[in-house]
Amino acid sequence: MALPKKEQFSEWYSELMKEAELVDLRYGVKGFIVIRPWAMYILKKMYSYYEEILEQYNHMPVHFPVVIPERYLTKEKEHIKGFEGEVFWITRAGFNELEERLALRPTSETAMYPMYALWTSGRKDLPIKLYMSELVWRYETKATRPLIRGREFWWIEAHCAFATKEEAEAQVREDMLTAKKAIWETFGVPFLFFKRPEWDKFAGADYTFAADTLMPDGRVLQIATTHLLGQNFSRPFEFKFMDTDGKEKYAWQTSYGPGMNRILAAMISWFGDDKGLILPFHLAPVQVVIVPIFKDESKKKVLGYAKEVEGKLKALGYRVELDDAEDETPGFKFNKWELKGVPIRVEVGPKEAEAKALTVVRRDNREKQQLSLEEAAKIEEIAKLMFEEMRKKNEEKMRSSIVDAKNWDELKKGIEEGKIGG
């Protein structure tokens, strides 16, 4: 990496996507990218944490088909009006024209709610709290950008149904709490929730709250949304239940969508530096890289000790890479693994081999610390401290980027300085 992140963020971001082998744009269809193993591993770890949090709040996983029949998608008029320009339509299968067009899922309200109606007869069947970890497709007409704006992207959808409006509104607040626990506390990305104006709410919702983060170039990135859908979908889909008073009523609904691609993009952008990625220890594909440093006379001893260190760290449960390639210098290896964001580097040379010691280097500030091999479990403590300090730095940066504008001129000035406010 040779580009300064602060001065050339857009170019830095694009270069990092390529050099750190996160994505490949050469698939051949505009807006569709290949997510390479390093980034996909991080995404999978992010999903596992997010899903665990949702399940702690009594959501259950589910899968629905990727195709939605046109008659479902068009039932809620405001919803289709908001999405009809972004839908990928399937009109043929093999040699046959389909009798009804099928939409590739742009979002799943109209796929799920006909089934919710079939599953619900009385109040005892509510609440319903289900989530999907899936891909969605939208014919995005604006300029695409890897992980930030595309035509195919990973996200989570949580769809809930309740007997009362009060329960549904409580779910919207819970969605904001799960976002805080996942996006901020677990991934380290700071954000603010804003209620969207009427013209910018989700199509078919009573109201929408969106989580916005700030990118290094001052642009705002929306990374999650939660919507009170009210009864706007339960009515057209005849999603009703028999209440305890003997009256048939329509369910109250919410939907919640954390954009996993965008959260990853935000995490990369908040944590990265001019050298490349900086990954939280718990999300990194490789948590510790071991770099042996030797001359010919100490090669056998150092490499033997490096393998011993590798065994010790793996026994502790760390994801470890021993970089013992002999055609690369230690400096080249340092740069290579710093680019990929490996949080901890362990250097072992003749002195470490002699003393059964480790030189532990943090990726974020390159601070070095000496440990004995028996103290190797302290690496996790070092990594946790590193993550907390990185989060604190991000929090301070976010706070300093918020301006309390009292008039239009102050707001304009803040925006020009790359700040956010109202």
Q: What is the pLDDT along the chain (422 residues), one digit of tens a residue?
A: 668 998 899 999 999 999 999 999 999 999 999 999 999 999 999 999 999 999 999 999 999 999 999 999 988 778 777 788 899 999 999 999 999 999 999 999 999 999 999 999 999 999 999 999 999 999 988 877 899 999 999 999 999 999 999 999 999 999 999 999 999 999 999 999 999 999 999 989 999 999 999 999 889 999 999 999 999 999 999 999 999 999 999 999 999 999 999 999 999 999 999 999 999 999 999 999 999 999 888 999 999 999 999 999 999 999 999 999 989 999 999 999 999 999 999 999 999 999 999 999 999 999 999 999 999 999 999 999 999 999 999 999 999 888 777 777 766 677 666 666 55
Give me the pLDDT at residue 83, please: 80
Same domain, 267 and 143: yes
Domain assignment of residue 26, yes or no: no
What's 151's domain CATH number? 3.30.930.10
- Answer yes or no: are the C-beta atoms of 134 and 155 closer than 8 Å: yes
Give me the pLDDT at residue 78, please: 80
Cβ within 8 Å of residue 215, ≥6 positions away: 9, 221, 266, 269
DSSP tally for the chain: helices H, then strands E: 12, 21
Domain assignment of residue 11, yes or no: no
What 5-9 contacts at long range (C-beta under 8 Å, 24+ apart), as own/partner pairs, is 5/216, 5/272, 5/273, 5/274, 6/216, 9/215, 9/216, 9/217, 9/269
What's 371's domain CATH number? 3.40.50.800
Same domain, 194 and 314: no
Same domain, 254 and 173: yes
Same domain, 346 and 258: no
Could you list the residue range(s) of the whole structural domain that residue 353 is in?
A: 288-387
Bridge partner residues of 97 (DSSP): 92
- Answer yes or no: are the C-beta atoms of 290 and 310 closer than 8 Å: yes
Domain assignment of residue 72, yes or no: yes
Domain assignment of residue 417, yes or no: no
Give me the pLDDT at residue 76, please: 78
Q: What pTM value is reported for the model?
A: 0.94
Give me the pLDDT at residue 58, please: 98
- What are the phi and psi torsion angles at 129 (to 5°)? -135, 95
Same domain, 118 and 224: yes
Domain assignment of residue 31, yes or no: no
Domain assignment of residue 15, yes or no: no
Task: Tell me which H or E stretch contains 385.
Answer: helix 378-400
Same domain, 265 and 316: no
Domain assignment of residue 404, yes or no: no
Give me the pLDDT at residue 268, please: 97
Same domain, 150 and 237: yes
Number of domains in the chain: 2
What 170-177 contacts at long range (C-beta under 8 Å, 24+ apart), as own/partner pairs, is 171/129, 171/254, 171/256, 172/209, 172/226, 172/227, 172/228, 172/254, 174/57, 175/209, 175/226, 175/254, 175/256, 176/209, 176/211, 176/226, 177/57
Tell me, rounded to whole angstroms, the distance of Cα 294 from its chain centroid. 40
Give me the pLDDT at residue 90, please: 97
Q: How far apart are CA 326 and CA 259, in angstroms?
A: 42
Give me the pLDDT at residue 404, please: 76
- Answer yes or no: are the C-beta atoms of 343 and 279 closer than 8 Å: yes
Q: Among the three residues 216, 238, 271, which one is the final residue of a domain in this structure?
A: 271
Residue ranges of E strands in 246-372: 248-250, 252-258, 288-292, 320-322, 344-348, 357-362, 368-372
